[in-house]
Amino acid sequence: MDVPFFTQTLLPALNKGLAVSLALIVPAALFGFLGGVLLGCLRVFAHPWLRRLGDWYTSLLRGVPLAIQLMLIYYALPYLGIFFSPYGAALTGFILCTTAYQSEYIRGALLSIRLGQIRAAQALGFTTWQTVLWIVVPQAARRALPGCGNEIVYLIKYSSLAYLVTCMELMGQGKVVASDTFRYTEVFMAVGAYYLVMVTVASRLLHWLERRYAVPGFAGA
């Protein structure tokens, strides 16, 4: 094993890319979840035309591959006078895409809340949106955690597409090193190990959150 290659060339480059990957994944996961909650609520409780708009958005973002979305944001929008940096384009694409997927999990969780709770809240004088905000959403968000956590794991893996818009995250840095040295096997095995560690850590954290915020009496909690 060529130790100097790993310690002086490969690992510094991958660590630099890892920092960019985390700077994409963490805010995309956070804002994607919040956006998914908002979009899920609109798709269940809003006016019918807003529900249809939310359904169209979700169908569009889930139907078009993320790679194409990123290319359109970075390369096509400048023709309309809208410019993004590589990082901005990647982060925007990830947030828009994961919001669509998260909204599906949230929508399903919202629909699982019993109607009796909503009627009881309204009988106590809660408005529709007070009922949604204080009664329905807290339960639905907890019930949706397993599905939303699964989407975050996917987000970690498809963050590797950011290099398509020249955002040099983990995969991009690995690709540069591999192209310069022609040591594709070592480089991409190392890149794969980085992703495996990230997914493992995220999975353990998400499982802890699921146990910590499980709804008592629901799904074996």
pLDDT in tens, 30-77: 999 999 999 998 998 888 999 999 999 999 999 999 999 999 999 999
pLDDT of residue 216: 65
CA nearest to 42, candidates 103, 118, 119: 103
Asked, for residue 6, whether it belongs to a domain, the answer is no
Cα-Cα end-to-end distance for the chain = 48
Asked, for residue 7, whether it belongs to a domain, the answer is no
Asked, for residue 136, whether it belongs to a domain, the answer is yes
Asked, for residue 147, whether it belongs to a domain, the answer is yes
Q: Is 125 exposed, middle or buried (0-12, 13-18, 19+ CB in 10 A)?
A: exposed
DSSP state of 46: S
Q: What is the pLDDT of residues 143-160, one digit of tens each?
A: 888 888 899 999 999 999
Place of tokens 């995250």: 169
**Angular region, 81: left φ>0, alpha ψ -120 to 50, beta rest:** left
Answer yes or no: are the C-beta atoms of 79 and 34 closer than 8 Å.
no
CA nearest to 173, candidates 153, 201, 195, 202: 195
Average predicted confidence (pLDDT) for the chain: 89
pLDDT of residue 32: 94
> Is the pLDDT assigned to residue 221 strictly greater than 80?
no
**Count of domains observed in the chain:** 1
Asked, for residue 58, whether it belongs to a domain, the answer is yes
Asked, for residue 102, whether it belongs to a domain, the answer is yes
CATH of the domain at 158: 1.10.3720.10
Tokens of 26: 């963490």
Q: What is the pLDDT of residues 5-15, one digit of tens each?
A: 788 889 999 99
Residue 161 lies in domain? 21-170
Asked, for residue 79, whether it belongs to a domain, the answer is yes
Q: Which residues contact 186 (CB under 8 A, 6 or more apart)?
A: 5, 6, 10
| DSSP per-residue string spanning 127-147 | -HHHHIIIIIHHHHHHHTHHH
Asked, for residue 189, whether it belongs to a domain, the answer is no
pLDDT band at 213 (very low <50, low <70, confident <90, very high): confident
